Structure 1
Amino acid sequence: MKTLLFLFLCLVFTTNASSIAKTATVSHGFCWTVYIYNVMIDAVTVHVKSADYDLGDHTLEFNDNENWSFCVNFWKTIVFYADFKCKGTKSVSFNVWDEFLGDDYGSGSTRSAERILVWLVKDDGFYVGKNLPPFPDGMTKLYDWSH
């Protein structure tokens, strides 16, 4: 019986609990939905990926958004990063979700069924917060465009 319990625990702790779904609804804890909204007049190309998932290139026109949902693995090591490009001369890459961003800027708590993190792409840079539109003034600017 101890051997069976040990094998079960090994299976639980070595299985990657992350899953990704292209949906805006999350129905259980330790799961997130990340939104990236373009509020610039110019279109923005964004490529989001993690070590395990590549969500591909997406062109966001004015007021378009890209979003995805995922569940955090047991070790909370999942990181999503994105490459942003606009008008051929503006570009930047940075993490769009990791445990620290979620804790510092995201909504919800470990008891919340739905937790979100929202990014705004603006002419002067990238803002993060926890609210969907209409966007409040309380979002925090974290990154500038590179030239």
Structure 2
Amino acid sequence: MPSFRCLPDHLRPLADKFYRGQQSAMRTRAAHQVWVAEHHGIIAALCLQPMAHGQWLTSLLVDAAHRQQGVASALIERALQAVDTPVWLFCHPDLQPFYQRLGFESCDRPPEPLAERLRRYQMKKTLNVMAR
């Protein structure tokens, strides 16, 4: 079973190395709180970014060999345990049932900074906004 932790800032490059190793363009930023699942190294990561009066969950990625094992759900739950503000995310419509099982609901009116990003992103792909 993996362990979960928030990476201290000086270890954030480990998450970037994980993303690169997964051939992902995702990268952490200074404003991010980076959470990881570890089992003989990082097997999943996500970022929480302060946004409006809450957090924006981004960059959730699980190593292909560890998918469909509950790692993403457990990582999200652990990362959000200490969050007492709204959390928003963008997801592909196919992933909406997954996030609904974790307590997220469709969000028709995200905060303006997120709505602006969503408009840009939706020029290239279909995304839904969800909140918890």
- In the superposition, the TM-score normalised over structure 2's length comes to 0.30
- In the superposition, the TM-score normalised over structure 1's length comes to 0.28
Max Rg structure: 1
Q: Please identify which structure carries the higher strand content.
A: 1
